[in-house]
Copies of this chain bind each other. A is one copy, B any other.
Amino acid sequence: MTELIAEQARGAASPGTEIVAVTPRFGPASVESVLESHLAAVGAIDCALREGAGHDAVVLAGFGELGREALQEMLTVPVIDITDAAAYVACLLGRTFAVVTTVDRAVPAIEDRLTLNGLRSRCVGVRAVDMDVLDLEVDQEATVGAVTAAAAKAVREDRAEVVCLGCAGMAGIAEQVSRAIGAPVVDGVTAAVRLAESLHGLELRTSKVRTYAPSPPKDIRGWPL
Seen from chain A, the residues whose Cβ lies within 8 Å of a Cβ on chain B are 12, 14, 24-29, 32-39, 41-43, 45, 66-67, 69-70, 72-74, 78, 80, 84, 88-89, 91-96, 104-105, 108, 112, 115-122, 155, 159-162, 175, 182-184, 186, 190-191, 194-195, 197-199, 201-213, 215-216, 218-223, 225
Contact = CB atoms under 8 A, between A and B. Distances in A.
A72 B42 CA distance: 19
Oligomeric state, in number of copies? 6
Contact of A94 (B161, B207, B219): B207
A204 B184 CA distance: 7
A179 to B, nearest CB: 12
Contacts of A32: 215-216, 218
Contacts of A88: 88, 91-92
B91 A118 contact: yes
A225 B87 CA distance: 35
A92 B74 CA distance: 15
Contact of A210 (B38, B104, B186): B104
Contacts of A191: 198, 202
A210 B108 contact: yes
A118 B96 CA distance: 10
B92 A36 contact: no
B220 A27 contact: yes
A78 B93 contact: yes
B155 A209 contact: yes
Contact of A35 (B70, B80, B161): B70
Given A35-B70, A42-B38, A207-B183, A92 B78 contact: yes
